[in-house]
Amino acid sequence: MEVRVFKNAGEIGAAAGKIICDFVNSKPDCVLGFATGASPVPTYDYMINQFNEGKVSFKDVTTFNLDEYCGLPADHKNSYFTFMKENLFSKVDIQSKNINFLDGNADEEQESKRYAEAIKAKGGIDIQILGIGRNGHIAFNEPSDEFTDEAWKVTLSQSTIDANSIYFDDTEMPRSAMTMGIGSIMRSKKIILIATGNSKAQAVKDMIKGPVTPHCPASILQQHNDTVILLDEAAASLL
């Protein structure tokens, strides 16, 4: 794991965005894995700016997102698909036919198989962006007794419900989601994990310095051979 500490989220976004844009310019038909939530937004902003300045095009890029809530239609204002549309997809030239999302309302087994096959058919994910939960989750793989492999349907933990319910005003936050499994994430060729703020400091410490255990799912990244962890000073404060 390579750990880099920055002054603020904007600097992290520029660093992560540059890695991605440079890679897209070297391999225009690459496969990118995206996360939702606050952590990757400055990265997406950097990518949008580079696109607007004509420095990069995403027209041949294929994308896979990490997770989607169960029980919401894809076009619901709180779905992760809508989040991606608003924060990135509608602002760059990614083609909708190249966008892949888990369907939180599909049959779990069939959906898991479909997503695994789609990723495989594209030759795997070249760069996967991750955030980390306050409880050490990656995607929606919550702390548990075992590491998962392919996509599965997870019951969200209270910590995740507390953290994410701020985005739900008039809709009740779903209690379950379809998420890429730990195995699928670990098969990504490169991983960029972004964490900012004090609320992530303990999870970041457990991820980097703790034992590799499914009780801190992000700790598995210690076993990935090309992972870069981008932190602000607050998230790095317990290292």
Nearer to ligand F6R, 56 or 154 (CB): 154
Residue of 142, 150, 206, 232 marked catalytic: 142
Nearer to ligand F6R, 53 or 162 (CB): 162
Q: How far is the CB of 127 from ligand F6R (least distance, A)?
A: 15
Q: How far is the CB of 66 from ligand F6R (least distance, A)?
A: 4
Nearer to ligand F6R, 57 or 214 (CB): 214
Residue of 45, 68, 126, 135 marked catalytic: 135
Q: How far is the CB of 54 from ligand F6R (least distance, A)?
A: 29
Residue of 67, 68, 126, 150 marked catalytic: 67
Residue of 45, 68, 111, 137 marked catalytic: 137
Residue ranges in contact with ligand F6R by CB under 6 A: 35-39, 66-67, 131-133, 137-140
Nearer to ligand F6R, 24 or 192 (CB): 192
What DSSP string describes the chain?
-EEEEESSHHHHHHHHHHHHHHHHHH-TT-EEEE--SSTTHHHHHHHHHHHHTTS---TT-EEEESEEESSS-TTSTTSHHHHHHHHTGGGS---GGGEE---TTS-HHHHHHHHHHHHHHTTS-SEEEE---TTS-BTTB-S-SS---S-EEEEPPHHHHHHHGGG-SSSPPPSEEEE--HHHHHTSSEEEEEE-SGGGHHHHHHHHHS--BTTBGGGGGGG-SSEEEEEETTTTTT-
What the block records as the tokens of 216 is 């801190």
Please confirm, yes or no, whether 67 is among the known catalytic residues.
Answer: yes
Residue 42 contacts residue 73 (beta carbons within 8 Å): no
Q: Output the residue with the shortest Cβ distance to ligand F6R.
A: 131
Please confirm, yes or no, whether 135 is among the known catalytic residues.
Answer: yes
Q: How far is the CB of 187 from ligand F6R (least distance, A)?
A: 16
Give catalytic residue positions. Answer: 67, 135, 137, 142
